[in-house]
Amino acid sequence: MGASLPALLRRPAILWSALAAAVAAAVVTVLLVVPGADDGPADGDGDYLDASLPVDERVDDLLGRMTIEEKIGQMTQATVGAVEAAPSDVGEYGIGSLLNGGSEALFDTPEEWAAMIDGYQDEALKSRLGIPLMYGIDAVHGNTAIPGAVVFPHNIGLGAAHDPDLAGRAAAVTAAETRAAGIHWTFAPCVCVARDSRWGRTYESYGEDPGLAFEYAGPVVHGYQGEDLAANTSVLATAKHYVGDGGTDYGSSTTGDYLLDQGVVTLTEEELRSIHLAPFQAAVDAGVGSVMASFSSTDLGEGPLKTHADEYLITDVLKGELGFDGIVVSDWQAVDQVSTDYAEAVRASVNAGIDMVMVPFEYERFISTLLSEVESGGVAEDRIDDAVARILTQKFALGLFEQPFADTAHAAEVGSDEHRDVAREAAAASQTLLRNDGDLLPLTGQESIYVAGSGADSIGRQSGGWTASWQGSTVTPTQGTTILAGIQEVASDAAVTFSEDASEPVEAADVGIVVVAEDPYAEGVGDAGAGEHDLALSEDDAAAVETVCAAVDCIVIVVSGRPVEIAPHLGEPGTPRSVDSLVAAWLPGSEGAGVADPLFGAAPYNGRLPVSWPRQTDDEPLNVGDAEYDPLFAFGFGLVTP
């Protein structure tokens, strides 16, 4: 990494040359579709249907047969709920992609998901040229849209593990469990660099140092995409959010609702490149198939500009300088934020280099608006051709023209013990020991143990946001093992008493474990100071720590997507009411036994802080290298046990 960042800073920007392609419309025979496991367009002609030809030749051939309306349809991504009442619109408008929004209806099995997606695929294949659609989803830490799928630690925990290869294996499991449901595209990994823990997306970041995201980007992209995108265990990956979303200024939100999300990144271009751009270079070098633009704006000294309308950052830097040849996809309805004039917003975003627009609802409006812009000369057709060529290239790479329908051969492996073992290993590796007075940990497993706290018996809290729904839920959103159940499993000989609020007598126990936790959240709603979420312990959890730690030797485990205000509750080591051992568990996912493993020595504590842990919320933003740096626990800190 040391050699790569300076090189990135020195590299001159070059303009991306638009892909020239023939635009003459060809009259072709209407393609007949016979649904089946291996069926594509049955009676079509054209070189694009010849799988033996190079992809670029197939793309050129197909692009030359398409009308401008068909091209714009391919640039359209609609949420599945928008076409539910009119599925034939998928074929009629030639919609290029559908996605599942964060809070839309879910299905219980991979087979049910596959059947739903195949139904829309069938509609897509009825279009004149039989171009298959791609289906996308936010499988950011497992395909949590399926209740039985494995849920991995969020990125902040994987960053604490300092093991990019392990993160790559987690991505490979997620890819297999996602493709088994007929889903082709995940909007992951997030390679953002979180510079302020008040940001509600902090847990989506590997940490505050760009070196972490730089190291993780390649193995994780490879984990998702595998050696062959067409394989039934691979999905198209998305590096997001381009660029700088983790560095937004506190109080800068352009929406007025939140304090950090969708805000403004104010810094020099050199800072933008060295902190936020470098991980995208690593993702591009790894062959990532798509990049998602950020909601945020960037101010490099000339005033803020929405990234979605920033031609310099998208076309000159990403597509030109970094050499990205995949799809630039917009974020959810983000194009609408570029201007109050919708035509201007569409024109500016597409001209800036957005290839596929996550509309996600009013797809007819988007299609007609972009068509008008092309007809009036506001958007050149070669820009459209460039965008569509990028989209078609990924569809060919995914093998969708040969195998448009779902292959559920691996459906039985979703949530398998083998997959859960990887998630458990990742959870254990992420555990970060911050205090261990008197070498209390690891425990022997023979103790009488008192367990309390809101995070002890809550799959929802330990999984966090983006689990079954956008903001997550304290109501069990998925299948798995709670931390309490993990303790009972790993220390099967121990006498375990559980009282969430610590209302049961404590004194008879040998040791207490208090699992404090944040309630689940995602971006915006999770910004500290935006409303119900902050970095303080809940009153109930704070009371449980006070009660248990005053009575017995105690361990506090923090389940959170970021550092919390723990300093007021720690006490001085060795004094009454002190916390003897402190563990940052992050958001470990569905396998709570992974949290228990190092508690009892079944795995070592080996995690290190991927972010600086402030003494109080007002210390944020706090990052290693700051001129005034006085954290409670420094970046990279973590005690180690055998």
pLDDT digits (tens, 9 = 90+) for 599-619: 999 999 999 999 999 999 999
Candidate from 95-109, 125-139, 469-483 with smallest mean pLDDT:
95-109
**220 and 235 Cβ atoms separated by less than 8 Å:** no
For residue 85, count CB atoms less than 10 angstroms from its CB and return exposed for 0-12, middle for 13-18, buried for 19 or more. exposed
Give, as one character, the DSSP assignment of residue 469. Answer: B
| Three-state DSSP class for residue 410 | coil
Give, as one character, the DSSP assignment of residue 236. Answer: B
Q: At what angle do helices 164-179 and 210-225 cross, to 10 degrees?
A: 40
CA pair distance 58, 52, nearest whole angstrom: 9
Phi-psi region of 251 (alpha: psi -120 to 50; beta: other; left: phi over 0): left
Closest among 141, 208, 135 to 170, alpha carbons compared:
141
Residue 288 scores a pLDDT above 80: yes
Give, as one character, the DSSP assignment of residue 619. Answer: G
* Residue tagged 């790479």 (tokens): 397
Q: At what angle do helices 210-225 and 278-285 cross, to 10 degrees?
A: 20
523 is catalytic: yes
580 is catalytic: no
pLDDT at 283: 98
Q: Please state whether beta strands 264-266 and 511-517 pair in parallel, antiparallel, or not at all (unpaired).
A: unpaired
Neighbouring-strand partners of residue 363: none
pLDDT at 575: 80
CA pair distance 475, 367, nearest whole angstrom: 39
Residue scoring higher pLDDT (87 or 252): 87
Task: Write the CATH number of the domain with boundaries 4-12+33-409.
Answer: 3.20.20.300
Q: Residue 21 — very low, low, confident or very high, per pLDDT cuts 50/70/90?
A: very low
* Residue tagged 């997620």 (tokens): 174
Q: Residue 103 — very low, low, confident or very high, per pLDDT cuts 50/70/90?
A: confident
Mean pLDDT (whole number) for 569-590: 92
Candidate from 249-258, 299-308, 373-382, 392-401 with smallest mean pLDDT:
249-258
Q: What spatial distance separates the first Cα and last Cα of the chain, rounded to whole Å?
A: 30
CA pair distance 423, 417, nearest whole angstrom: 10
Task: State the sign of the Cα–Cα–Cα–Cα dihedral 52, 53, 59, 64.
Answer: negative
Give, as one character, the DSSP assignment of residue 512. Answer: E
Residue 256 scores a pLDDT above 70: no
pLDDT at 532: 74
**552 and 510 Cβ atoms separated by less than 8 Å:** yes
Q: Residue 251 — very low, low, confident or very high, per pLDDT cuts 50/70/90?
A: confident
C-alpha angle 43-45-47 in degrees, rounded to nearest 5: 140
Q: Residue 253 — very low, low, confident or very high, per pLDDT cuts 50/70/90?
A: low
pLDDT, one tens digit per residue, over 218-228 is: 999 999 999 99
Of 331, 355, 386, 500, catalytic: 331
pLDDT at 250: 87
CA distance to 440, 625, 642, per residue, from 554 (Å): 9, 33, 20
Q: Residue 25 — very low, low, confident or very high, per pLDDT cuts 50/70/90?
A: very low
Give, as one character, the DSSP assignment of residue 529. Answer: T
**225 and 289 Cβ atoms separated by less than 8 Å:** yes
**202 and 253 Cβ atoms separated by less than 8 Å:** no
Q: What percent of the chain has pLDDT over 90?
A: 88
Q: Please state whether beta strands 305-306 and 297-299 pair in parallel, antiparallel, or not at all (unpaired).
A: antiparallel
Per-residue b/e over 292-327, b at no fewer than 16 CB within 10 Å? bbbbbbbbbeeebbbbbbbbbbbbbbbbbbbebebb
The string of DSSP letters for 266-295 reads: E--HHHIIIIIIHHHHHHHHTT-SEEEEPS
Kind plus residue range of the DSSP H or E element containing 463: helix 459-463
Ordered alpha helix ranges (H), 259-362 = 269-271, 278-285, 311, 342-352
Query: Domain residue spans in the chain?
Result: 4-12+33-409, 417-619
Strands in 193-268 per DSSP E: 238-242, 264-266
pLDDT at 260: 83
CA distance to 495, 520, 591, per residue, from 561 (Å): 30, 9, 16
| Amino acid, res. 540 | D
Residue 242 scores a pLDDT above 50: yes
pLDDT at 22: 30
pLDDT, one tens digit per residue, over 193-209 is: 999 999 999 999 999 99
Q: Residue 572 — very low, low, confident or very high, per pLDDT cuts 50/70/90?
A: confident
Of 261, 373, 523, 541, catalytic: 523
| Three-state DSSP class for residue 5 | helix
pLDDT at 531: 63
Neighbouring-strand partners of residue 78: 98
Per-residue b/e over 19-38, b at no fewer than 16 CB within 10 Å? bebebeeeeeeebebeeeee
Q: Please state whether beta strands 581-586 and 432-436 pair in parallel, antiparallel, or not at all (unpaired).
A: antiparallel
Task: Write the CATH number of the domain with boundaries 417-619.
Answer: 3.40.50.1700
| 472 Cα distance to chain centroid | 14
Task: State the sign of the Cα–Cα–Cα–Cα dihedral 123, 124, 128, 130.
Answer: negative
CA pair distance 491, 555, nearest whole angstrom: 15
Give, as one character, the DSSP assignment of residue 611. Answer: S
